[in-house]
Amino acid sequence: MHIVLIHQAFAALDEAGGTRHFELAQHLVRRNHRITIITSPVSYLTGKTRRAKVAWKETDTSHPGITILRTYTYPALHRNFVHRVFSFISFMISSFMVGMSLKQVDLVWGTTPPIFQCISAWLLARLKRSPLLLEVRDLWPAFAIAVGVLKNPLLISASLWLEKFLYRHADQVIVNSPGYVEHVRQRGARNVKIVANGVDSGMFDPQSKGNDFRRQHNLNGRFIVLYAGAHGMSNDLNVVLKAADLLRSEEKISFILIGDGKDKPLLQQQAREMNLPNLLFLPPVAKSDIREVFAASDACIAILMPLELYKTTYPNKVFDYMAAGRPVILAIDGVIRQLVEQAQAGIAVPPGDPQALANAVRQLADNPALSRRMGQRGRHTSEKYFDRSLIAEELATILAETRSKYE
């Protein structure tokens, strides 16, 4: 089957960001599928372009069975909301036009957010007479409204209408969190299945101590608390800075924030003003190189703003942390908290509470045996239930059923 995925935020293993779709594509290729991925040359995480000049189309066929087409995208993704919308719309147009040139399309796979690219996926599927698989990775526009990014009443109404239109017209809807199922069904999705976030467990080595990384950054002998991922409004990283401030007298504890995002310069300025001696910002690292970073950590933080809607999320980084065999300090309520607590893979704290976060860090730093046990349990859970190979089997079955129903 020739599957076309339209995904503006796609990242391969040599790039920073979530690599769920590349890993799934590799598994699907092993099942004799052919994958074409239409994506952007502008990094969704950093906002930077791959080359100085943005071309109409770049073609990458270096991965057997996978063709990556990077189509023109307005390059000012992180400048402000208006420029961000221009970026989304430019990719929506270019991805559709490039998609129309493809031959023998058996299934179109659209993913949101951003939701605009799903317009391209829907139209392409209809014109190619192929089924549409719609993947919901975040509840957009609900999240954007909740955090105050989307405020204009007309835009909100249009976005809500578009969301319902796409749910109703998709041949199959998949969600990456059980917390999303009811939301999409209430808004018109007919066939909904869970293809949960997961992890390629083999990419991580729980036994490694990351000594090279520790030496490189003069962190030998430290209890390293790692946050890896986006530095945006929703990530609430100012709470981590405040927790680091509360622990500044604990000389053995160091915080590392690795990644990028719109709010990173503001966070760095805040850290300088607070004069934090125990916190280090580092640039994003490609997924193929993240193994050593995770190995150097002793505990890992997953955090979101204390919003009711965020109780529905299954953040991908939590599964990476568990696969790395490191205890999770979880400042997120809801379904992901249930998972971590059932697995006994970490400590959950109330979102938005720096003191509770600092207390959890101190508890793990003072009890290495507890940290090891939690890390081992997380690794076991990730291997048994959330390994990418298992997730890919579920997805392959859904893809085959979706295609067969359409014929």
Confidence check: pLDDT of 2 > 80: yes
Confidence check: pLDDT of 377 > 80: yes
First to last CA, the chain: 13
- The rounded distance, in Å, linking the Cα atoms of 247 and 249 is 5
pLDDT tens sequence across 273-289: 999 999 999 999 988 88
Q: In what order do the strands lie in the sheet with 34-39?
A: 57-63, 66-71, 34-39, 2-6, 107-112, 132-136, 172-175, 192-194
Residue 395 structure tokens: 């997805």
Which range has the worst mean pLDDT, 79-83, 253-257, 280-284, 332-336? Answer: 79-83
Range 229-245 average pLDDT: 96
pLDDT tens sequence across 316-368: 999 999 999 999 999 999 999 999 999 999 999 999 999 999 999 999 999 99
Cβ–Cβ contacts within 10 Å for residue 305, how many? 18
What is the DSSP secondary structure assignment for residue 259, as one 8-state letter? -
Confidence check: pLDDT of 79 > 90: no
Q: What is the mean pLDDT of the chain?
A: 94
Confidence band (pLDDT; 50, 70, 90) for 113?
Answer: very high
Cα→Cα distances 344→144, 284, 353, 372, Å: 32, 29, 21, 11
Range 85-94 average pLDDT: 92
Confidence check: pLDDT of 78 > 70: no
**Are 225 and 361 within 8 A, CB to CB?**
yes
> Which DSSP string corresponds to 164-220?
HHHHHH-SEEEESSGGGHHHHHHTT-SSEEE----B-GGG--TT---HHHHHHTT-T
The pLDDT, as a whole number, for residue 406 is: 77
The pTM of the full predicted model, rounded to 2 decimals, is 0.93
Q: What are phi and psi of 336, to 5 degrees?
A: -70, -30
Confidence check: pLDDT of 52 > 80: no
pLDDT tens sequence across 182-223: 999 999 998 999 999 999 999 999 999 999 999 999 999 999
Confidence check: pLDDT of 76 > 80: no
- The rounded distance, in Å, linking the Cα atoms of 166 and 189 is 8
